[in-house]
Amino acid sequence: MTVTPHRNSLFQSRKELHHVLSRHQQIAREKKQAQIVSLSQVIDAVDPLVILQRFATSGQPAFYFEKRERDQNDVNEGVVVAAIGAVAHQTVDGANRFTTAKHFIQSTLAEIATYGSFDLPLAGPHFFCSFAFFDDASPQDSRVPAATIVLPKWHVSYCNQRSVIVANLCIHAATKLEQCIDEVWQTWQSIRSIRHALLLPAIDHRLLRQTRDVAGTQHFKQAVQSALSLIQQNILSKIVLAHAVDVVSPLPFDAIASLHNLRQLYPGCYLFLSSNGNGQQFIGASPERLVSLHDGQLETDALAGSAPRGKTVNDDVKLANRLLHSVKELHEHRVVDQFIQQQLAQLGLKPQRLPLRLLQLSNIQHLQTPIHATVAAHTHLLDVVAALHPTPAVAGMPRPIACDYIRRYEPFERSLYAAPIGWVDHHGNGEFAVGIRSALLNGCHARLFAGAGIVEGSDPDRELAEVQLKLQALLQALV
């Protein structure tokens, strides 16, 4: 992989920008091949969600990714990034989708020249990726590719109380250079000058919308009962079954306002949006990290086993203690923990575990075991994603059998639900969340997804109550 770096102190004037782009246009003419130029600029802190609302249009792909955590000084820090448009784009189907996606990223990077503050967090070219749960689309879900990888035209990030703008430009021999420079310069200035907050809907139509279960609660409970029969026969040790709800609103759903609500309700979760530019937007607030990789250090989590939060402090403590000592929930968690360690070991890694702990959200709490490992340079982040997805936390064990029965029992396509969504940068760093607690928006229609892990000792009524609790978080936020 070759990414050509250049000095940081650029683009204080249009003349400097013209000098860089005209040089690459000359190269494009000589080689008779388009050149991709990535320009990074540091600016005062802006909210990428505001940038997404201000600059994204319905006819182009867009992406949003946020993970914030409060530090010891109670400052809400973390990483937030919004990406708009596409300079390079690939969709992939089939069992080799992760390998194909990796090769697309590597081959595209080999042709990119980078300028500006490319060594800062989230500077330089980034590829934003969303994967479907299954590697083959069913006929009724053919609009959702098994993998989508986008090098955006623009991305704006927030990290460590400052922001970076990245413009990725495709320069052809016939590019109208002055027009291109005008667009880049004006967009930079517009982003720099934005200080307003989100423009939120004046009217809340949640009271007017209609909600229905896709297949009915009785179908879900029957599926759980059938799964328990397979577990008793030792065909499965665990399976995760999802439930889906359709919501129809009198006005189109507002993905940005919904993300803002999720941000307020679940500040410790991953927030995400993946928009295909054809009217469909996949959003959610997931507590589950699939994997992150930074400077050779990999982090992932075993996250399985759930309980509601208590309405009082005493109730909350009792529910937490019950979760920490539940034979059923600990078994469900152990299946995920062992799977992740085995998969990482097969990649030649040596995973290390931290002690089991609770991940407590506003309405639910989970058993969590953080896992970390050192990764050699030849192991790509997407190699790890391919090895881990789907974990038993969203599929089951044995994995192939569980996935087969998921398609038999669930009367809807999972699409992007419970699948990897995240980014990879030009250094090979990146982060992927698991797209649970999520919704697929399409105009005035939304489909909401949530799932529950079924193991020996599961009860159909309790599992239904768990998925309804998870769905309520989305219903509360969706506008």
Q: Shortest CA distance to 473 belongs to which of 435, 442, 438?
A: 438
Count CB atoms within 10 A of the CB of residue 263. Answer: 20
Counting beta carbons within 10 angstroms of the beta carbon of residue 326, is it exposed (0 to 12), middle (13 to 18) or buried (19 or more)?
Answer: middle
Instruction: Spell out the residues 6+ positions from residue 3 whose beta carbon is closer than 8 angstroms to its own.
Output: 109, 110, 112, 113, 114, 124, 125, 426
What distance lies between CA 423 and its chain's CA centroid?
Answer: 8
Q: Which residue has the tokens 């639910």?
A: 364
Look at residue 230 and give its three-state secondary structure: helix
- Do β-strands 112-116 and 35-43 pair in parallel, antiparallel, or remain unpaired? parallel
Instruction: Spell out the residues 6+ positions from residue 150 whose beta carbon is closer than 8 angstroms to its own.
Output: 61, 63, 83, 86, 88, 89, 127, 128, 129
Residues 265, 296: Cα–Cα separation, whole Å: 33
Instruction: Spell out the residues 6+ positions from residue 264 whose beta carbon is closer than 8 angstroms to its own.
Output: none
Instruction: Reply yes or no on whether 466 is catalytic.
Output: no
Q: Which of 67, 102, 153, 238 is flagged as catalytic?
A: 238
Q: Which of 67, 102, 153, 288 is flagged as catalytic?
A: 288
Instruction: Reply yes or no on whether 332 is catalytic.
Output: no
Look at residue 290 and give its three-state secondary structure: strand
What distance lies between CA 113 and its chain's CA centroid?
Answer: 27
Do the Cβ atoms of 307 and 368 come closer than 8 Å? no
Q: Which residues of 405-430 are buried (b: 16+ CB within 10 A; e: fewer)?
A: bbeebbebbbbbbbbbbbbbbbebbb
Active site residues: 238, 288
